A and B are shown apart, each in its own frame.
Chain A
Amino acid sequence: MLAWTIYISFLGAAALMFLPGGNARLARIIALLAALGGLACAAAGVAQCARHAGPGALTDVVNWPWIAELGVRFHLAADGISLVLVLLTGIAAVAGVLFSWNVEERCREFFALYLALIGGVYGVFLSFDLFLLFVFYELAIIPKYFLIAIWGSTDREYGAMKLALYSFVGSAMVLVGLIAAYVVSGAKSFEWVDLARGPYPAAFQYWAFPVVFVGFAILAGLWPFHTWAPTGHVAAPTAASMLLAGVVMKLGAYGALRVAMTLFPIGLHAWQDTMAALAVVGIVYGALVALVQQDFKFVIGYSSVSHMGFVLLGLMTLTQIGFSGAVLQMFSHGIIAGLLFAVVGRMVYDRTHTRDLAQLQPMNLHQVLPFAATTFIIAGAASAGFPGFSGFVAELQVLVGAWKSFPWLAVLAAAGVLVGIAYTWRVLLKAFFAEGAVDRRDLPRLEPISAPERAGALLLLGTTVIIGLWPGLLLGLIAPALDSPLLQPLWKGGAR
């Protein structure tokens, strides 16, 4: 069932390419159907697999021989972590299509590229053969490039190229590590299960781990390799930035977890402190820079870097609770970032054609676009980690895990949360609330929020609230996955 998420997305993309050009309506509907189909398959798959969840249970979805020469198989499977992320992709995909309802120019190419990207992302989360994972990972770079280069805004060609090159360099690093691991392990296959057994000599792991980890973490926005993220997010059209910040950055974190950390536990323990420190620097730096931005979208872009720092910190704590928080934060931030970019890009920028806070403030947008303001307030609260929304439990778990492993870093990360509240507050007030009283007549006349936008916003808001109130829904999937025997070497000597 789960494999159909990939197939439907790619079939949808292909179908869109064969549509006669110019029929935007049909293109949108096909795209929405494909996205909804993917979400339905994802949900059904999750429900099905959740019933069989045992410690480290791996549900095989598809397992076909592919390239006998190298021992590569077309192997799709899911454990709890994959299921959570697949669900995230489904929801984000549907929301993205809804928020792109107003794309008029070259509509079918836009949605074809969009669906191809979604298909690639599904593929990464479901692949348990590392060659296949790498194929999907690299495959996703090209649609990203075109989405930004063709439909983007500020500095789009530069932003697109920067993003593509950073991603490609990251995957080049992963390629080196992967090939080295294949050769050294002597395994005649690329299966995750086989490669994870190794064994790899410690000296090998000391360099292989940082190469592969950083290779993936570049896409996750690890400081100081994060510089593609703000430029890329700002340049991208709304749906692309929702996907980029919401889902694509999680590809990097997932890859780091699935490949780098599981394959090279000795290297992981050696580099744990360094990577954790970098993650915390990312949290604080991202938050501080977001605090002084004058461009609305840049604030959200840097806040994404800051939130991904939490994910990486959670992974580096090497405690079960930290991991749980990291995976939950991946889900939560995916939804919330989607919401925030949707408000900034679709609801505000598409109408006011400016992202400059100094220009937005006099417009007193909370009166003109109350739905946008309300959505942003709730999304901002969720982003700041307010309880009742999905981010709270995630960040709390990460902080608890960090406290066990690096108390001082946990304090810094908590300080980062405070700065997060500050910049969220600041941008909320500056973007939506004018200084003094504004005459009714001076307010700009903007078109009201359309139905697809409301639907998308409600979908995302509903998700973050539901998971915020019942985090057990996802925690119940994550916990058994963390008990997998293949993850055992990670915990050894983790919490000090």
Chain B
Amino acid sequence: MNPFLECLTALAPEIIVVSTALIVLLADLAMAGGKPVARRAGLAGAITCLGCALAMAWAGLMPCSAHVAMLAVSPVTQWLKLTLLLLTIFAAALSWGGRFTRHVGEYFALLLLAAAGLMLLVSSDNLLLIFVALELLSVSLYALAAFDKSSAASAEAALKYLLFGGMSAAFTLYGISLIYGITGDLQLGYIAARLRGQPAEPVFYAGLVMTLIGFAFKLAAAPFHLWAPDVYEGAPTPVASFIASGSKVASFFVLARILLTAFPAARGTAAASDYQAGWVPVLAALAAVSMVAGNVAAIVQSNVKRLLAYSAIAHAGYALLALVADARHTLAALLFYTITYAFTVLGAFAVVAVMEQSGRRGNLADFEGLGRRAPVLSFCMLVFMLSLAGIPPLAGFFGKFYLFVAAAAAAPPLSLLWLVVLAVAASAVSLYYYLQVLKQIYAVAPSPTAAWPRPALSAQAAIVLLAGIVIVLGCAPDLLLGKITDLLRSHPF
């Protein structure tokens, strides 16, 4: 087939999404002028969701497998795009009721562009395109983080995000260039071929580490996490939810792809008894530090969004376990974990967003007595918090369990036991701060002057739907897990 047409077909979902972004901008420009913000937001949001739905339909219904240009599209990536688009739809639904900006058109357009960046990120197996997609995503997110002009925190968050992100992008780019210098290619498969049989040079390790650092920043893995709490807290909540969910899923997938496809030779091991240098020990160290730092810092937080930020850091640590173990076999666990985590954290942020729309803020004290004022909302928050803590029968529990089993089973068996024990211990500690939130919601009496949360119908529907997904995936994880393992078995990397 004509490579250009092949490329277009492969990129069709992304094209749809980008087109939707343009349409939203135009529509907002055209229909704007005097109409109330809520109306414009509704229109823009509707167009966004429609566009995403269309892209989902294409990605789901049109089987596509292409290795053209710098793309590597396979059923796995298509299915991942479905998930990412779904997350985008939820984020958009959350943004409908938001009153933090008048520039709704630009907002939704940027959201869609970020979504396009995500989708592009998972479709590529060339380091350059990966970097471009990463930048598309990041720049959109920087801008989105600053959208609440009435809040100084939002601007500060965006600036921090920009500075950290820019620096990490520099690291990544420099690392990629070093690798290119050594191997002479940017395509992941070819890089692997060039590296095979050659002794590894220090420059190569430098490049590898720098690339990893760049990704570690994106994943908010400690010690590259310093931007996360401020950004999660300062950015408008729907944006924070999107950052926490979508970019995590995509970034993990991409990292896995890079490391497995391009650098299997430089693996190394992190087994307690048998140490070999490589990217595995680096990731193991990152994982360990993230788990500990994230959980310990979360204990003292009094703002729920910051708490979720530190918890995100910890969860990044857990997910890195899957990469530390023999990732070929643990990829299913990684995907299951990150996807369920994405839905859960999106739900948690959604609840916070609803609280903010009713005039409260995201502090722990603002959740006082929510159990009596808004039982459905509180129950959904209960589901999300317990899923993050890893309490059965919710999705988070099974995700962690499967991850730990996969990590422990990594050959030779129980070699990573130290890391699993650390992960379990950190997870045990995390129950404390999740219970703090729930305690505020259920055990503390509501203050009589607090406003009742009045969630928009779209937001409430989104939250309930997300809670339902978490519960269903917890009770019947095979639904998702089966699909993932089938896809991976038939189309390994």
Answer whether residue A168 sits at the interface, using C-beta atoms and an 8 A cutoff: yes
List A contacts of B476 (CB < 8 A).
Answer: 66
List B contacts of A135 (CB < 8 A).
Answer: 392-393, 397
Q: Which residues of A155-183 have CB atoms within 8 Å of chain B's CB atoms?
A: 157, 161, 164-165, 168-169, 171-173, 175-176, 179-180, 182-183
List B contacts of A136 (CB < 8 A).
Answer: 392
Encoded as 1 (CB less than 8 Å from any B CB) or 0, chain A from 38 to 73 comes to: 000000000000000000000000000011111000
Mark the stretch among B129-137, B257-265, B477-485 that contacts chain A. B477-485
Mark the stretch among B178-186, B207-215, B405-413 that contacts chain A. B405-413
Encoded as 1 (CB less than 8 Å from any B CB) or 0, chain A from 129 to 161 comes to: 001001110110110011001100000010001
List A contacts of B435 (CB < 8 A).
Answer: 145, 161, 164
Asked if A141 meets B391 with Cβ closer than 8 Å, knowing A69-B485, A149-B443, the reply is yes
A114 CB to closest chain B CB, in angstroms? 15
B474 CB to closest chain A CB, in angstroms? 9
Asked if A180 meets B414 with Cβ closer than 8 Å, knowing A68-B478, A135-B393, the reply is yes
Answer whether residue A1 sits at the interface, using C-beta atoms and an 8 A cutoff: no
List A contacts of B392 (CB < 8 A).
Answer: 134-136, 138-139
Residue of A nearest to B428 (CB): A172
- Whether B391 pairs with A184 at a CB distance below 8 angstroms is no
Answer whether residue B153 sits at the interface, using C-beta atoms and an 8 A cutoff: no
Residue of B nearest to A68 (CB): B478
Residue of B nearest to A141 (CB): B391
Q: Which residues of A181-235 have CB atoms within 8 Å of chain B's CB atoms?
A: 182-184
- Whether A165 pairs with B431 at a CB distance below 8 angstroms is yes
Most buried by B among A69, A70, A135, A164: A69
Residue of A nearest to B390 (CB): A138
A56 CB to closest chain B CB, in angstroms? 29
List B contacts of A138 (CB < 8 A).
Answer: 391-392, 397
Residue of A nearest to B398 (CB): A67
- Whether B442 pairs with A175 at a CB distance below 8 angstroms is no
List A contacts of B431 (CB < 8 A).
Answer: 164-165, 168
Answer whether residue B404 sits at the interface, using C-beta atoms and an 8 A cutoff: yes
What is the CA–CA distance of A150 and B378 in the complex, to the nearest angstrom? 15
- Whether B414 pairs with A139 at a CB distance below 8 angstroms is no
Answer whether residue B272 sits at the interface, using C-beta atoms and an 8 A cutoff: no
- Whether B393 pairs with A67 at a CB distance below 8 angstroms is no
Answer whether residue B402 sits at the interface, using C-beta atoms and an 8 A cutoff: yes
Residue of A nearest to B484 (CB): A69
Specify which of B391, B432, B485 is in contact with A139 (CB 8 Å cutoff): B391
Residue of A nearest to B413 (CB): A183
Asked if A183 meets B478 with Cβ closer than 8 Å, knowing A142-B391, A176-B421, the reply is no
- Whether A161 pairs with B443 at a CB distance below 8 angstroms is no
B477 CB to closest chain A CB, in angstroms? 6
Q: Which residues of B439-493 have CB atoms within 8 Å of chain A's CB atoms?
A: 439, 442-443, 476-478, 481-482, 485
List A contacts of B391 (CB < 8 A).
Answer: 138-139, 141-142
List A contacts of B393 (CB < 8 A).
Answer: 135, 139
List B contacts of A131 (CB < 8 A).
Answer: 401
- Whether A179 pairs with B404 at a CB distance below 8 angstroms is yes
Q: Which residues of B410-445 have CB atoms within 8 Å of chain A's CB atoms?
A: 413-414, 417, 420-421, 424-425, 427-428, 431-432, 435, 438-439, 442-443
- Whether A150 pairs with B443 at a CB distance below 8 angstroms is yes
- Whether A70 pairs with B482 at a CB distance below 8 angstroms is no
What is the CA–CA distance of A167 and B428 in the complex, to the nearest angstrom? 9
- Whether A172 pairs with B424 at a CB distance below 8 angstroms is yes
B367 CB to closest chain A CB, in angstroms? 14
What is the CA–CA distance of A489 and B420 in the complex, to the nearest angstrom? 30
- Whether A69 pairs with B408 at a CB distance below 8 angstroms is no
What is the CA–CA distance of A157 and B477 in the complex, to the nearest angstrom? 34
- Whether B402 pairs with A70 at a CB distance below 8 angstroms is yes
Residue of A nearest to B427 (CB): A172
List B contacts of A172 (CB < 8 A).
Answer: 424-425, 427-428
Answer whether residue B322 sits at the interface, using C-beta atoms and an 8 A cutoff: no
Specify which of A146, A168, A184 is in contact with B442 (CB 8 Å cutoff): A146
- Whether A176 pairs with B405 at a CB distance below 8 angstroms is no
Answer whether residue B354 sits at the interface, using C-beta atoms and an 8 A cutoff: no
Specify which of A70, A149, A173, A182 is in contact with B439 (CB 8 Å cutoff): A149
- Whether A183 pairs with B409 at a CB distance below 8 angstroms is yes
Encoded as 1 (CB less than 8 Å from any A CB) or 0, chain B from 40 to 60 comes to: 000000000000000000000
Encoded as 1 (CB less than 8 Å from any B CB) or 0, chain A from 65 to 101 comes to: 0111110000000000000000000000000000000
What is the CA–CA distance of A391 and B435 in the complex, to the nearest angstrom? 38
Specify which of B386, B413, B439 is in contact with A184 (CB 8 Å cutoff): B413
Specify which of B420, B432, B438, B442 is in contact with A179 (CB 8 Å cutoff): B420
- Whether A183 pairs with B408 at a CB distance below 8 angstroms is yes
- Whether B397 pairs with A183 at a CB distance below 8 angstroms is no
Specify which of B401, B402, B408 is in contact with A180 (CB 8 Å cutoff): B408
- Whether A175 pairs with B443 at a CB distance below 8 angstroms is no
- Whether A179 pairs with B482 at a CB distance below 8 angstroms is no
- Whether B443 pairs with A146 at a CB distance below 8 angstroms is yes
Given A131-B401, A165-B431, A179-B408: 14 more A-B contacts, CB < 8 Å: A67-B477, A69-B482, A70-B405, A139-B392, A142-B391, A145-B435, A149-B439, A150-B442, A165-B428, A168-B428, A179-B404, A182-B405, A183-B405, A184-B413
Interchain Cβ contacts under 8 Å between A and B, 12 examples: A67-B477, A69-B332, A69-B478, A139-B392, A145-B435, A150-B443, A164-B435, A169-B425, A173-B424, A176-B420, A183-B408, A183-B409
7 A-B pairs with least C-beta separation: A172-B428, A135-B392, A149-B443, A172-B424, A183-B408, A183-B409, A183-B413
Interface residues of B, Cβ cutoff 8 Å to A: 332, 386, 391-393, 397-398, 401-402, 404-405, 408-409, 413-414, 417, 420-421, 424-425, 427-428, 431-432, 435, 438-439, 442-443, 476-478, 481-482, 485
